[in-house]
Amino acid sequence: MLSASLLAGFLLAAIYNLLALSAMKESALLHSAENGVQILSEAGNMSWGSAGRILCGMIFLIACLNVCASLLACTSEYFSELAPKLSYRSWLLAFTLIGAITACTGLNAVLSWSGKVLSLICPIAILILAVSLILYFVKGKQETQKSESSQTIKQ
């Protein structure tokens, strides 16, 4: 199990590094592109023609569906435990609808506000993770199996 996880992590890192390298090289030629997707799509087109554009689209589709399904499942499970009045399916439906409505606004619109939201949320999430890890190693595994962050949020 661990070796499969390491292999998957290595392959994902290799793919994303190659995508970043390709986008970096092609971005100088594509000043009119509004976002990275347009740069990568055009890079695929310049390298392999329309098949490259299709391949790039398929890679994005598979990667995004994988991440989306995982995030929907995790957040729905978390919120169904945090607020059990709504079932897992209800949370899943709500998050799916919110995501679909958000996606309909377009990538440029999402990128315009998501950076601000992430810059607000990420430091808090990193702090909660660091405190949880410190407590795990200081107090031991038994006392921190229930996340300190979820207890804080419930209060």
- Domain assignment present for residue 81? The answer is no
Region of 25 on the Ramachandran plot (φ > 0 left; ψ -120 to 50 alpha; else beta): alpha
Top-ranked range on mean pLDDT: pick from 37-41, 104-108, 139-143: 104-108
Is 60 exceeded by the pLDDT of residue 142? no
Length of the chain: 155
- Domain assignment present for residue 92? The answer is no
The average pLDDT across 124-134 equals 93
- Domain assignment present for residue 9? The answer is yes
- Which pTM value belongs to this model? 0.63
- Domain assignment present for residue 103? The answer is no
Q: Residue 117's pLDDT is what?
A: 92
Contact at 8 Å (CB) between 64 and 44?
Answer: no
For residue 127, the enclosing domain spans 112-155
Total domains in the chain come to 2
Contact at 8 Å (CB) between 136 and 144?
Answer: yes
- Domain assignment present for residue 55? The answer is no
Which two structure tokens, joined as six digits, stand for 80? 């169904």
Is 90 exceeded by the pLDDT of residue 59? no
Using pLDDT thresholds of 50, 70 and 90, give the confidence band for residue 68.
Answer: very high
Q: What is the mean pLDDT of the chain?
A: 84
- Domain assignment present for residue 57? The answer is no
- Domain assignment present for residue 71? The answer is no
- 20-24, 34-38, 131-135, 145-149: the lowest-pLDDT one: 145-149
- Domain assignment present for residue 140? The answer is yes
The single residue listed with the structure tokens 């995790």 is 74
b/e map of 2-18 (b: 16 or more CB within 10 Å)?
Answer: eeeeeeeeeeeeeeeee
Measured between alpha carbons, how far is 80 from 83 in angstroms, rounded to an integer? 5
